[in-house]
Structure 1
Amino acid sequence: MADKVYHLKCKDHLVSGEEFRLEQLQDFDILETLPKPENLSAYYESDAYISHTDSSKSVTDKIYHAVKNFMLLQKLKWINKVAKGNNLLDIGAGTGDFLQTAKRKNWNVEGVEPNEQARKLAAEKGIKLQQDLSSFEEDSFDVISMWHVLEHVPNLEVQLKELHRLLKPNGVAVIAVPNFKSFDAEYYKEYWAAYDVPRHLWHFTQDGISKLFKENNFEKFETKPLVFDSFYVSLLSEKNKTGKANFLNALKLGLKSNLKAQSSSEYSSLVYFFLKS
Structure 2
Amino acid sequence: MNRLTYLKVKDHSVSGEEFQLIFNEDTEMLETFPAPNEDQLSKYYKSEDYISHTDSKRNLFEHVYHLIRSRALKKKLRLINSFGNESKQLLDVGCGTGDFLKTALTNGWAVTGIEPNEQARKIANVKTNQNVFEIGHLANLKEHSFDVITLWHVLEHLPKLDTHIQLFRKLLKPNGLLIIAVPNYKSYDAAHYKEFWAAYDVPRHLRHFSRKSINKLFQKENFTLIKTIPLIFDAYYVSLLSEKYKTGYMNPLKAFWVGLKSNYRARHNNDYSSLIYVLKQTN
Go from structure 1 to structure 2 and tell me whether the alpha carbon gap of 1:205 and 1:272 turns closer, same or farther (over 3 Å shift). same
1:76 corresponds to which residue? 77
SS of the equivalent of 1:120 reads: helix
Identity %: 52
Output the amino acid matched with 1:29. E
Please list every run of 5 or more consecutive structure 2 residues that lacks an aligned counterpart in the other structure. Answer: none
SS of the equivalent of 2:82 reads: helix
Output the amino acid matched with 1:43. Y
Deviation at 1:265, TM superposition (A): 0.5
1:88 corresponds to which residue? 90
Deviation at 1:165, TM superposition (A): 0.8
Residues 1:130 and 2:133 aligned together: yes
Residues 1:111 and 2:116 aligned together: no
Output the amino acid matched with 1:47. E
1:50 corresponds to which residue? 51
2:197 corresponds to which residue? 192
Residues 1:259 and 2:264 aligned together: yes
Output the amino acid matched with 2:66. H
* Shift >6 Å, 4+ stretches: none
Instruction: Answer whether contact 1:28 1:208 (CA < 8 A) is retained.
Output: yes
Output the amino acid matched with 2:20. R
SS of the equivalent of 2:139 reads: coil
1:211-222 equivalent positions in 2, closer than 5 A: 211-222=216-227
Counterpart-to-counterpart distance in 2, 1:9 and 1:76: 37
TM-score by length of 1: 0.98
Counterpart-to-counterpart distance in 1, 2:196 and 2:84: 37
Deviation at 1:249, TM superposition (A): 0.3
The RMSD of aligned alpha carbons is: 0.9
Go from structure 1 to structure 2 and tell me whether the alpha carbon gap of 1:83 and 1:197 turns closer, same or farther (over 3 Å shift). farther
Instruction: Answer whether contact 1:96 1:127 (CA < 8 A) is retained.
Output: no
Deviation at 1:84, TM superposition (A): 3.2
1:96-245 equivalent positions in 2, closer than 5 A: 96-128=98-130, 129-132=132-135, 133-245=138-250
Residues 1:270 and 2:275 aligned together: yes
TM-score by length of 2: 0.96
Go from structure 1 to structure 2 and tell me whether the alpha carbon gap of 1:264 and 1:56 turns closer, same or farther (over 3 Å shift). same
What's the CA shift string for 1:89-136, capped at 9, x where partnerless?
Answer: 000000000000000000011010000000111122234211021220
Output the amino acid matched with 1:21. Q
Counterpart-to-counterpart distance in 1, 2:207 and 2:164: 13
Go from structure 1 to structure 2 and tell me whether the alpha carbon gap of 1:74 and 1:223 turns closer, same or farther (over 3 Å shift). same
Go from structure 1 to structure 2 and tell me whether the alpha carbon gap of 1:4 and 1:127 turns closer, same or farther (over 3 Å shift). farther
Deviation at 1:82, TM superposition (A): 2.3
Instruction: Answer whether contact 1:83 1:143 (CA < 8 A) is retained.
Output: no
Counterpart-to-counterpart distance in 2, 1:89 and 1:260: 34
SS of the equivalent of 1:82 reads: coil
